[in-house]
Structure 1
Amino acid sequence: MTPAGFPKQARVRARAEFDRVFQQGRRTASPMMALHRLVDDGPVRLGLAVSRKVDPTAVGRNRIKRVIRDQFRRMRGDLAPGAYVLVARPAARQADNDALRDGFLRLLQRAGALPVVTPAGTMSADSSSPLPPDAPASTGP
């Protein structure tokens, strides 16, 4: 399987594992979806819960799951180990694919599952002095 695949080891499948994530994991929520994250030593795994209350049509529910699964495949290598269960909410039905991807990414960042991205500035991170490294230090007035 390719690195961007979705093998069985990368899925939360059993009801017992879903229950464990819901009971022991931490929840981070937005109006569109809720993310339950359980930190453990296992590989990165994803479970999806999209009920008929979210979208009464199977086509709509499958679209939401397909978009989230695709985004998860692409970033699986960057995520912290553990189990992730995403529960879609009714607002996900009206969201387009880009909004679903963005909402999932934001939840992962808020949950601490992704490394923090610092914005690029004009100064280097190790610079404690406003002088360039090759400039002579001033000894006084």
Structure 2
Amino acid sequence: MFAHVRAEAKEPRLGVAVSKKVDKRAVGRNRIKRIARDVFRRERHRLPPGDYVLIAQPGAAALDNPALRTQWLQLLEKARSLKPTAPAGTMPASPDARERPATDS
């Protein structure tokens, strides 16, 4: 499983992606998503604000429910220590920078 954290959110939010490559059956894919949402709901209060995206890998279908929960909890522990990705741009914004007015040329 992979997790990506973005900084734009004001509270922790979750997105889950489980493709047919992970499990051909919808029941198996839904089981993985259900466990991920449940663990996230229980741990949400301990997470910094951000968008959390879980991408399940093909090995996830072979794990039982307790093993999936353990993997997801370990991933959230790592995510707590990650710094969010910086916004797009080549230079950091200056604290006293102002917009230049448009010219009528």
The answer to whether the superposition gives a TM-score over 0.5 is yes
Query: Between Structure 1 and Structure 2, which shows a larger proportion of helix residues?
Result: 2
State the structure with more CA Rg: 1
Which residue is equivalent to 1:42?
10
**Secondary structure at the residue paired with 2:3?**
strand
Runs of 4+ in 1 over 6 A off after TM superposition: none
Is the partner of 1:36 in helix, strand or coil? strand
How many residue pairs get aligned? The number is: 82
SS in structure 2 opposite 1:85?
strand
Gaps of 5+ in 2: 83-105
Percent identity between the aligned chains?
55
Q: What TM-score does the superposition give when structure 2 sets the normalisation length?
A: 0.73
Question: Structure 1 residues 59 and 43 mapped into 2: Cα distance closer, same or farther (>3 Å)?
Answer: same
Q: Quick one: which amino acid aligns to residue 92 of structure 1?
A: A
Aligned Cα RMSD in Å? 1.5
Q: TM-score, normalised by structure 1?
A: 0.55
Name the structure 1 match of 2:23: 55
SS at match of 1:111: helix
- The structure, 1 or 2, with the larger RCO (C-alpha pairs under 8 Å, 6+ apart) is 2
